[in-house]
Each structure stands twice: as C-alpha cells, then as structure tokens.
C-alpha cells in the first residue's frame, strides 16, 4: 500500500512500530498533493517547510528514551481555513483576510499538536463557512460539488492527500462534504470540541468536528480533540489510554429508520438506504421505522431564524466595512438576519428546546437514528448541496456521523447518517463501527476509471 493511502489509525500503528517514519509519510503526502491537487483544489495553503520540520521533530522524539507517543504522533492533518494556526495564514475564504496570520493556535489545533499531529496545511473553506461555493472540486467527478463548507477537508481526505482534516458544521458543513466525497464525517455533541480560535458563523449552532476515512479514525480524533480521558486537568494523550475501537461494546444496535427523510430523498437514495437498513436488520440489528415527532419544516425554519440572527450579529461590523468583499448568499443572509425581530429569535430558541426534548424521548434508551446523510448524490458545482438532512441535528446539538455506504449507477458515493442522543458520542461510534463492518468499503476516487470528466 502506498503511504498516502494509509488511514489515521494505520499510519499511527506503523509509526509506533517504526515501520515508517513521520518524515516519510509527510513527504509521500506532499508528493501526492503536488500530483493531484491542481485539478481538485482542496488546499488553500500547503505548509511544506513547516510540516517537514514538524515531522523531523516527531521522528526525533521517537528516538528519545522513555518518550511516550501521543494518539496522533507523526500523522499529518489538514485544517479547515477558519481555524487559527499560529504562524500560518488563516483566510476564512475572505479576501480581506488573505494575509492574516494568527499568533496563536485554535484550541483544537493546539490539542492536535499536543497529541503529536502534524499540520500539513489549510484546506479550502467556503467564505466564512457559509454556502457560497468555493473553488474545490469533487475527486469522484470534477464537475460535481464536494459539498460545503468544509469543501477542501472532504476532498483532500477522499483523494488521499491527507488521512484526516478538521472541519466545522453549523448546518451540514461536515457531513455533507463527507457524504458527497465518500468518506467519514463526524459532528460531535454541541460543545464537545472547543471552538476557541475558530471564526464563528452562528455561536449556538457551530460545531467543531472532522473528516476521516474510518470509524476507528474518528474515535482517535475525538479522544485527542475532546480531551476524553483527562485526569486532574492533564490530557491523557498516550495511545495506551485510548478506548480502542476493538474494545468497544459489539452489542447489536437498535436503529430508528426515519421515514420523513426517505420521503424527501431522490428515489435512488431512498431505495439504497432501505436496502442498507435491510442489511443491518438481516445482520441482527433491531430496525424500527418511524416518523419524526415534530414537523421537519418547523425545525428547518427554527434553524434558519437562529442562524440568520446570529450571523447578523457576528458580521455586522465587518459587513459594514467590507460589503463588496462578501459572497452574495452570505451577504443576503446577514442582511435578512438584521431584519428579524428579537421576539422571533426568542421563540425559535424556545421551540428548539421542545424539539430536542421530543427527539430525546423518541430515541429512548439506546436507540440511534438512521437516515440518508443527503437527499441526493453530489450535485453540480453551482451549489454545495442540500443541508436539510443534516441541519436538524446541528440545531439540536446531537452527535451525528456520515458513513459511505455504496455508489450509484454513475459511480458517485451514497452515504448513511447515524444520530445519537446528546453526549452519547461514544455510543454513536460503537454503533457506527458495527454498521461500517457491514458496508462495502469504497475505493479511492482516483482509482476509479469510469469518470470521463477528470
């Protein structure tokens, strides 16, 4: 296997066994980026010198007597370009910030480094992580969107330019790119991973998360970034302290297949998810079909009102000073948010609490929701896709994960989404691991010969 094909967990195991070095892995990824990124355009900044210098330090640390490697030791990562990175420019996709270089890391970037991770560079984001399409292309088909707003993170991980990348989600900005690009996207419970040092879009909706290629990778990153396993204020970053995926409970999951989303999906997506649900049922899972305990249109309206008002507050001064630099959809949402009356925002927040309570009651003891991640396969480049299948879980702050689950007749990825109760992130990963083991893994999109647009 070529080094750039390694997942986070595979790379970590080989580095700790001294089968490969951090420098070898970093050089292999940089060479692969140089070969493929001209057409995909997943990277805003590639920090070749900084990444290689960090890789040499990680390699030297492995030779130090008594050194205990962290969970992510020697593994390179991409960072969505709204996370502050000390000494490395952070543009947020906004022309005014083209030369902005933070003096300190975002909290989650700092945790990544503490766990031994290497910053390979900054991945392309849509402007301020909103929905105006960025320049990045989908590695499965260059005439299709990779999704947004974590466009570069999804495309870079799918195209094997990096084994994992940080992203954010306010509506569907992690799971949608993961679904369209055929990789794993994880959005933890609200507040699980710190957003300190990340450009905000909507304070009460923003989630930090990541895109990887396996559920085991997701478990590693969650522990590293969320500080799970902390004791007495210190971070337990040793791989020996990690709750390994192999030790997770392998009990049969209880799944609720949500019919509301099947009804809103394209026929091909709907039929695919029904087949996947039957596969899980035949493997022993309890799969129950149900409808939502609330009106999906109401939840989407509540999400939009909260997002618009908070976006207006975030961007009021910057919009006034740099109106012409704003992308058109972002500008229009901010302006609408400035017109929403305060009582509408308060009512939306009250409805939000009711929706979450009703959802938690429906999920009961140990149930996990099953639905399509997206309503269709990746559409064309004038859009980043439909966020209505992901935004309810951002609104409610519930952990969610997208798993690649197959391909359509044109070779584009399908994906399923799993959602668990608040703060049940570990249980969600356990169920996702069980489901992943019963899904056919996808090849690299760059190995697919059926795409004439490349």
**Residues 252-298 pLDDT 10s:** 999 999 999 999 999 999 999 999 999 999 999 999 999 999 999 99
What is the distance, to the nearest Å, from the Cα of residue 441 to the centroid of all Cα atoms in its chain? 18
Q: List beta partners, residue 79.
A: 122, 166
Instruction: Provide the CATH number for the domain around residue 236.
Output: 3.90.1300.10
Give the sign of the dihedral formed by CA 8, CA 14, CA 17, CA 18: negative
Cβ pair 438, 283 in contact under 8 A: yes
Given the residues 108, 149, 376, 387, the one annotated as active site: 149
Instruction: Reply yes or no on whether 13 is catalytic.
Output: no
Q: Residue 36's pLDDT is what?
A: 98
Q: Within the chain, which residues score under 70 in pLDDT?
A: 228-250, 448-454
Q: What's the domain range around 340?
A: 296-352
What is the distance, to the nearest Å, from the Cα of residue 6 to the centroid of all Cα atoms in its chain? 19
Cβ pair 290, 262 in contact under 8 A: no
Same structural domain, 129 and 246: yes
Same structural domain, 8 and 99: yes
Given the residues 153, 173, 202, 376, the one annotated as active site: 173
Q: Residue 389's pLDDT is what?
A: 98
Q: Which residues contact 149 (CB under 8 A, 6 or more apart)?
A: 125, 126, 129, 130, 131, 134, 167, 168, 170, 173, 384
Same structural domain, 229 and 305: no
Instruction: Reply yes or no on whether 149 is catalytic.
Output: yes
Q: Residue 237's pLDDT is what?
A: 41
Q: Which residues contact 86 (CB under 8 A, 6 or more apart)?
A: 102, 103, 104, 105
Same structural domain, 240 and 108: yes
- Give the position of tokens 């986070």: 8
Q: Residue 241's pLDDT is what?
A: 45
Number of domains comprising the chain: 2
Same structural domain, 240 and 304: no
Same structural domain, 231 and 82: yes
Instruction: Give the three-state DSSP class for 372.
Output: strand
337, 352, 367 - which closes a domain: 352
Same structural domain, 27 and 142: yes
* Cα R_g (the chain), whole angstroms: 21
Query: Could you give the residue ranges of the DSSP H alpha helices within 364-403?
Result: 391-396
DSSP 388: T
Same structural domain, 331 and 187: no
Q: Report how far residue 160's alpha carbon sits from residue 175's, in angstroms, rounded to the nearest whole number.
A: 18
Same structural domain, 326 and 191: no
Q: Which two tokens stand for residue 11?
A: 């790379």
**429 inside domain:** no
**245 inside domain:** yes
Given the residues 9, 80, 110, 189, the one annotated as active site: 80
From edge to edge, which strands make up the β-sheet containing 165-169?
A: 43-46, 118-123, 76-80, 165-169, 207-212, 184-187, 400-407, 413-419, 367-372, 254-258, 286-290
**215 inside domain:** yes
Instruction: Reply yes or no on whether 173 is catalytic.
Output: yes
Q: Residue 250's pLDDT is what?
A: 61
């Amino acid at each position: 296997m070529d080094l750039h094909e390694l997942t986070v967990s595979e790379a970590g195991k080989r580095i700790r066994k001294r089968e490969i070095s951090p420098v070898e892995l970093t050089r292999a990824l940089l060479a692969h980026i140089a070969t493929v990124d001209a057409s995909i355009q997943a990277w805003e900044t590639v920090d070749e010198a900084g990444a290689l210098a960090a890789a040499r330090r990680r390699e030297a640390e492995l030779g130090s007597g008594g050194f205990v490697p962290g969970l992510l030791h020697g593994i390179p990562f991409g960072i969505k370009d709204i996370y502050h990175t000390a000494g490395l420019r952070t543009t947020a996709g906004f022309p005014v910030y083209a030369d902005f270089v933070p003096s300190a890391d975002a909290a989650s970037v700092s945790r990544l480094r503490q766990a031994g991770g290497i910053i390979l560079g900054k991945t392309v984001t849509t402007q301020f992580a909103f929905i105006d399409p960025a320049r990045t292309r989908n590695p499965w088909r260059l005439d299709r969107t990779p999704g947004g707003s974590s466009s570069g993170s999804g495309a870079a991980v799918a195209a094997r330019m990096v084994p994992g990348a940080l992203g954010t989600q306010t509506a569907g900005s992690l799971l949608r790119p993961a679904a369209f690009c055929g990789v794993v996207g994880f959005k933890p419970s609200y507040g699980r991973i710190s957003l300190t040092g990340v450009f905000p879009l909507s304070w009460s909706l923003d989630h930090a998360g990541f895109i990887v290629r396996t559920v085991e990778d997701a478990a590693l990153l969650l522990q590293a970034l969320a500080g799970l396993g902390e004791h007495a204020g210190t971070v337990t970053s040793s791989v020996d302290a990690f709750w390994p995926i192999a030790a997770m409970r392998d009990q049969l999951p209880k799944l609720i297949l949500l019919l509301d989303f099947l009804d809103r999906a394209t026929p091909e997506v709907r039929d695919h998810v029904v087949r996947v649900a039957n596969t899980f049922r035949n493997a022993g899972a309890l799969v129950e079909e149900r409808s939502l305990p609330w009106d999906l249109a109401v939840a989407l309206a509540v999400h939009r009102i909260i997002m618009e008002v908070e976006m207006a507050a975030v961007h009021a001064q910057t919009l006034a000073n740099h109106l012409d630099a704003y992308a058109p959809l972002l500008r229009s949402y901010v302006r609408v948010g400035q017109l929403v009356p305060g009582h509408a925002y308060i009512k939306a927040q009250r409805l939000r609490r009711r929706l979450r309570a009703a959802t938690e009651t429906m999920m009961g003891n140990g149930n996990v929701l099953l639905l399509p991640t997206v309503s269709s396969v990746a559409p064309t480049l004038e859009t980043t896709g439909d966020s209505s299948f992901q935004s309810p879980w951002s609104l409610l702050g519930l952990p969610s994960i997208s798993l690649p689950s197959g391909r359509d007749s044109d070779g584009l990825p399908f994906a399923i989404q799993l959602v668990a109760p608040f703060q049940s992130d570990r249980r969600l990963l356990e169920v996702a691991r069980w489901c992943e083991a019963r899904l056919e893994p996808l090849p690299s999109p760059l190995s697919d010969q059926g795409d004439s647009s490349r």
